[in-house]
Structure 1
Amino acid sequence: MTPEVVMDLFANGFYLAVLVISVIVGPALAVGLLVSMFQAATQINEQTLSFLPRLLVTLATIMIAGGWLLMKFMDLFERTFQQIPLLIG
């Protein structure tokens, strides 16, 4: 296995990790920003007010995008397993 092949495998895995993290964390970040702006405007400093909406949005995002993310993982693993004979030989 050459260093180029190893870097290609690493790049594919890293791209998938960044994609999964951005899909799951992005909506939670947006909701957290909206809740923080609401808290700053109303001067309410309740910890559960910022935690619960982010948790619910994260869970909803996983439920909605989970199938698509799972397909991305399966595609990566399938491509990697199909390339094993080419990588070894």
Structure 2
Amino acid sequence: MTGPEVLDIARQGIWTLIIVSAPPMVVGLMIGVVIALFQALTQIQEMTLVFVPKILAIFVTLLVALPFMSQALEAYTARIADLIVTGSG
């Protein structure tokens, strides 16, 4: 296996990681911004107010996005297994 092939596998792995982690991260970011805006508008400075809604939203997002996430991971794993079997890219 040559250097460019290894870099291509690493690039695919990083891209797969980004795609799989994007849905919960985006939802967590959006909920955090909405709650921060709510806290700024109402002048409520409770530090723990963010955690429960964010945890619930991320959990629901994981339940909804789990088929997509597992499909992306399965495709990447199949590519890696194919490379192991064939011995080349």
Q: Could you tell me how far apart the structure 1 residues matched to 2:17 and 2:9 are?
A: 12
- 1:33-53 deviation digits (Å, cap 9, x = unpaired): 000000000011112211111
Q: Distance in 2 between matches of 1:47 and 1:53?
A: 13
**Corresponding residue number in structure 2 for 1:82:** 82
Q: Tell me the percent identity.
A: 27
Q: Answer yes or no: is 1:20 the counterpart of 2:25.
A: no
Partner of 2:2: 2
Segments of structure 1 that go 5 or more residues without pairing to the other structure are none
User: 1:1-89 maps to which residues of 2 (within 5 A)?
Assistant: 1-87=1-87
Paired letter, 2:76: L
| Structure 1 residue identity aligned to 2:37 | M
Q: Contact 2:20–2:73 at 8 Å: present in 1 too?
A: no
Query: Structure 2 CA distance, aligned partners of 1:76 and 1:13?
Result: 7
Q: Distance in 2 between matches of 1:76 and 1:50?
A: 34
Q: Determine the C-alpha separation between the residues in 1 that align with 2:21 and 2:85.
A: 31
CA-based RMSD of the aligned residues comes to 1.2
Deviates more, 1:10-19 or 1:44-53: 44-53
